[in-house]
């Protein structure tokens, strides 16, 4: 025995790291003086709702991702709903999607009167499994709605092959996916309708907002549907020399983006390269710290993609720990580290569970991973000290409760 009471050759544990004095918020928006000035400039102008800045934002966003065209809306949910409605999907139709997503991805299918058909996810990326999509196609299937989970692009080649074989449309839920790339091309650069989110926690925020990309002819129809079904928006009616006349062509929605939001979005778009450099740096530090710990499973990045790294989803290995995910989160909270869970699978929510009779293990990969995943803070505002605090807290909890 050594003087400290430990057998010879057994190292002493390092002292527990000092805990943060202040709480580290999970995902605050990154708003700077440029965004504030742009909003003030808009408020001082003659136009604060959908107008010239919204149109500029649409053009610049389309150019940024290489999209054929873009339509600015008040949410990603609006983009998905408008896309399905523009495609004429409705009662009697089926849309295949993933259970491991926010409820909006599936709610919009219900909104148009169609049936959401859920299939399980792949165990590495947690994106929808193309093989299970193929097995779920029926004569009623009209579309496939993949979600680029956490900013890692889904396997679009395989998904689009299934769609071509059965004459289906692919509508991409790209809420997490700016500026992700699949095989060298930005998500949104193709002809599929793709809906992006600019919610407060997203890589690009307008507080609330979204963008729908796709072919110009498709977006022309979607634009009408997105604003009451009117043939001309307010800017076209009230600008100098314009006519007040309009026609209602369809019973549309109220989904337009305002110039106040677009002003923020334009500034955020111009900061994306810097934002992503910082995100990738934080991800590299996290993964280097967690990869060797038997209790922790870092997220993957397949070689053919460049993830947007909207989320850093860490998975716990229950066989290596004496506590579960919920207690792990409580321990991080006690160490002043904010976290979240992405997501409670759709089939566990009462509406979908009861309507469609889903058991918890109906989608075993999604369900198993849900029970062991948590999202760590990941945003460009994290300092090196913040990142070190997150790493220290996670490793401390893993060490304290290791089996």
* Together in a domain, 215 and 184: yes
Selected catalytic residue, list 183, 202, 236, 254: 202
The whole-angstrom separation of Cα 45 and Cα 37 is 12
What was the pLDDT predicted at 241? 64
Spatial neighbors of 112 by CB under 8 A, at least 6 apart, are: 81, 84, 85, 89, 90, 93
Are residues 276 and 157 located together in one domain of the fold?
no
> Which helix (H) or strand (E) element contains residue 195?
strand 194-197
Work out whether the CA dihedral 29, 35, 40, 45 comes out positive or negative.
Answer: negative
The domain total for the chain is 2
Tokens of 341: 């869970």
Contact between residue 211 and residue 177 where contact means Cβ atoms under 8 Å apart: no
Q: Are 77 and 104 found together in one domain?
A: yes
Same domain, 234 and 290: no
Joined together, the tokens standing for residue 33 give 């003086």
Domain boundary among 230, 254, 270: 270
Place of tokens 């992405």: 342
Task: Please indicate, yes or no, whether residues 214 and 305 belong to a single structural domain of this protein.
Answer: no
What is the DSSP code (8-state) at residue 321?
B
Residues 115 and 226 in one domain: yes
| Spatial separation of the C-alpha atoms in residues 35 and 261, rounded to whole Å | 10
Q: What CATH number is associated with residue 297?
A: 3.90.1150.10
Strands (E), 214-327: 296-297, 305-306, 312-316
Helix axes 272-290, 259-270, angle to 10 degrees: 60
355 is catalytic: no
| Cβ-contact 117, 141 below 8 angstroms | yes
Q: What is the pLDDT of residue 238?
A: 55
Task: Judge residue 29's burial from the number of C-beta atoms within 10 Å of its C-beta, 0-12 exposed, 13-18 middle, 19 or more buried.
Answer: middle
Structure tokens of 146?
């993949």
Residues 185 and 85 in one domain: yes
Query: Each residue of 346-375: pLDDT tens digit?
Result: 999 999 999 999 999 999 999 999 999 999
Regions of the chain where pLDDT drops below 70: 1-18, 233-242
Contact 178, 205 (CB under 8 A): no
* Same domain assignment for residues 104 and 208: yes
Clarify whether residues 37 and 184 are in a common domain.
yes
Which residue range(s) make up the domain with 327? 272-339+377-400
Q: Count the neighbouring beta carbons within 10 Å of the beta carbon of residue 258.
A: 22
Cβ proximity of 332 and 397 under 8 Å: yes
DSSP letter string over 267-295?
A: HHHHTHHHHHHHHHHHHHHHHHHHTT-TT
224, 254, 270 - which closes a domain:
270
Contact in structure between 215 and 68 (CB atoms under 8 Å)? yes
The two tokens of residue 373 are: 């995943």
CATH number at residue 250: 3.40.640.10
Q: Does residue 68 form part of some domain? A: yes
Residues 300 and 333 occupy one common structural domain: yes
> What does the pLDDT read at residue 7?
33
d(CA 350, CA 348): 6
Are 208 and 69 within one domain? Answer: yes
Helical packing angle, 33-43 and 259-270, nearest 10°: 150
Q: Say if residue 264 is in the same domain as residue 300.
A: no
* Alpha-carbon gap, residue 227 to 55, rounded angstroms: 15
| 391 inside domain | yes
H or E stretch covering 384 = helix 384-400
For the segment 299-314, what is each residue's pLDDT rounded down to a tens digit? 999 999 999 999 999 9
Of the residues 270, 298, 323, the one at which a domain ends: 270
CA–CA dist 110, 90 (Å, integer): 9
């Amino acid at each position: 025995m050594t003087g400290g009471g430990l057998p010879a050759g057994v190292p002493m544990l390092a002292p527990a790291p000092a805990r943060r004095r202040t709480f580290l918020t999970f995902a605050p928006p990154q708003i700077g003086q440029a965004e504030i000035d742009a909003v003030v400039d808009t408020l001082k102008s003659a136009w604060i709702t959908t107008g010239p800045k919204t149109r500029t934002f649409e053009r610049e966003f389309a150019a940024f991702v290489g999209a054929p065209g873009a339509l600015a809306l008040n949410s990603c949910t609006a983009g998905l709903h408008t896309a399905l409605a523009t495609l004429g999907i409705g009662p009697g139709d089926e849309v295949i999607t993933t259970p491991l997503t926010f409820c909006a991805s599936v709610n919009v299918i219900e909104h148009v009167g169609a049936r959401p058909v859920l299939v399980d996810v792949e165990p590495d990326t947690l994106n929808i499994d193309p093989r299970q999509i193929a097995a779920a196609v029926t004569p009623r299937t009209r579309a496939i709605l993949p979600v680029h989970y956490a900013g890692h692009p889904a396997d679009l080649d395989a998904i689009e092959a299934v769609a071509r074989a059965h004459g289906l449309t692919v509508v991409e839920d790209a809420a997490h996916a700016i500026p992700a790339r699949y095989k060298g091309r930005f998500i949104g650069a193709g002809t599929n309708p793709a809906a992006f989110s600019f919610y407060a926690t997203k890589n690009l925020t307008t507080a609330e907002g979204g963008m729908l990309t796709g072919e110009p002819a498709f977006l022309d129809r979607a634009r009408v549907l997105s604003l009451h079904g009117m043939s001309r928006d307010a800017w076209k009616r009230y600008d100098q020399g314009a006519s007040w006349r309009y026609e209602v062509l369809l019973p549309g929605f109220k989904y337009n983006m305002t110039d106040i939001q677009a002003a923020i979005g334009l500034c955020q778009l111009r900061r994306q390269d810097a934002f992503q450099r910082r995100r990738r740096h934080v991800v590299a530090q996290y993964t280097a710290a967690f990869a060797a710990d038997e209790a922790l499973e870092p997220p993957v990045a397949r070689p053919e993609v460049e993830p947007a790294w909207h989320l850093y989803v860490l998975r716990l290995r229950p066989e290596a720990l004496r506590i579960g995910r919920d207690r792990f989160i409580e321990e991080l909270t006690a160490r002043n580290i904010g976290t979240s869970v992405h997501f409670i699978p759709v089939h566990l929510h009462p509406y979908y569970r009861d309507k469609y009779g889903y058991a918890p293990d109906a989608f075993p990969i999604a369900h198993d991973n849900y029970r062991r995943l948590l999202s760590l803070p990941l945003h460009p505002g994290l300092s090196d000290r913040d990142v070190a605090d997150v790493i220290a807290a996670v490793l401390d909890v893993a060490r304290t409760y290791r089996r």
